[in-house]
Amino acid sequence: MGNNWTTAQMPNQRGTKVVITGASSGIGYETARAFAAKGAEVVFAIRNLDKGAEVARQLKQEYPNAVLKLMKLDLSDLASVRKFAQEYQQTYDSLTLLINNAGVMTPPFQKTKDGFELQFGSNHLGHFALTGLMLPMMSNVPSSRVVTLSSTVINGAEIDFDNLDGSKGYNRVKFYGQSKLANLLFAQELNVRLKASRSNTTSLGSHPGRANTNLFSLGSGKQTGPLMKIVKILLAPQSAEMGALPTLYAATKPTLSGGEYIGPDGKGGNKGYPKIDTSVLKKYDPNMTQQLWDISESLTGISYLS
């Protein structure tokens, strides 16, 4: 069990700079809220700045001393990813934590601006590119961390390297599982490479269990309707606040050394308090992971950490 770890056990985060993708709702918002409460400087890396501004106002009402910044980021557009990294580097001199949280789930078949299938392109390739561009800002920061969110759907998921773009057929659930498996493999492989390069930075993975979030809007970002709200209650027994705990644990627990995967401690990992989940180690295939890494570098044009 995870000893019922909550944000009350989070260390003080003053002096910490944290970038959270998709911070304006769901797991991302609850993650940002916890960091704001602990004194971190929080950058909302988000698509919709108007929505973000409203959320930030609410957060400032709750925590008047919170230091928040909104920055435009569209993970489905590599030009936007590059622009975000450039603007961050022009504004800040370092980064302590990068939380790769944002994602779209099971939308109809769509492609990103760069021609990638939307889920693989946004959930994995966008974060792969972002991380590669942001790592230089983290290299001189002791105990800096990258936390990448995966999902329980990786059970049974596989990566179809012959059909990453969906041109040979598209199943929205399978492609979501593929993108989240890629997230997990990326988090693990990144940590291997960081250790090999003797970096100060570590990489960890996390998943929220079955949490009630706006992922059920199928990538639209819109509020869900009455029927879908009922479905959310039935399929997602965990609140977004509880669902954020594994990510917060992965980002701040001092005893973690990198490479860990954190999820809820309840049955099936669906809900509960955070714990280290070792069941996913069997998912790590060095050959498949190397292939994923090479393809990701080729598609994004981002090369880092040999």
* Residues belonging to the active site: 170
Residue-wise pLDDT for 117-135, tens only, equals 999 999 999 999 999 999 9
Contact assessment for residue 13 and residue 287, using Cβ atoms and an 8 Å cutoff: no
Check whether 248 has a pLDDT greater than 70. Answer: yes
Q: What is the DSSP string of 49-116?
A: HHHHHHHHHHHHHH-TT-EEEEEE--TT-HHHHHHHHHHHHHH-S--SEEEE-----SPSS-B-TTS-
Contact assessment for residue 218 and residue 232, using Cβ atoms and an 8 Å cutoff: no
Mean pLDDT value across the chain:
92
Per-residue confidence (pLDDT) for residue 283, from 0 to 100: 82
Per-residue confidence (pLDDT) for residue 104, from 0 to 100: 97
With bands split at pLDDT 50, 70 and 90, how would you rate the model's confidence at 214?
low
Residue-wise pLDDT for 16-64, tens only, equals 999 999 999 999 999 999 999 999 999 999 999 999 999 999 999 999 9
Choice between 16 and 215, residue whose per-residue pLDDT is larger:
16
Per-residue confidence (pLDDT) for residue 269, from 0 to 100: 85
With bands split at pLDDT 50, 70 and 90, how would you rate the model's confidence at 229?
very low
Between 162-166, 186-190, 210-214, the lowest mean confidence (pLDDT) is in 210-214
Residue-wise pLDDT for 68-104, tens only, equals 999 999 999 999 999 999 999 999 999 999 999 999 9
With bands split at pLDDT 50, 70 and 90, how would you rate the model's confidence at 226?
low
Tokens 């001199």: give the residue.
Answer: 93
Whole-structure pTM value = 0.92
**Whole-angstrom distance, CA of residue 115 vs CA of residue 19:** 26
Choice between 297 and 230, residue whose per-residue pLDDT is larger:
297
Contact assessment for residue 291 and residue 158, using Cβ atoms and an 8 Å cutoff: no
Tokens 């959930």: give the residue.
Answer: 123
Domains within the chain, CATH numbers bracketed: 12-300 (3.40.50.720)
Check whether 235 has a pLDDT greater than 80. Answer: no
Contact assessment for residue 283 and residue 184, using Cβ atoms and an 8 Å cutoff: yes
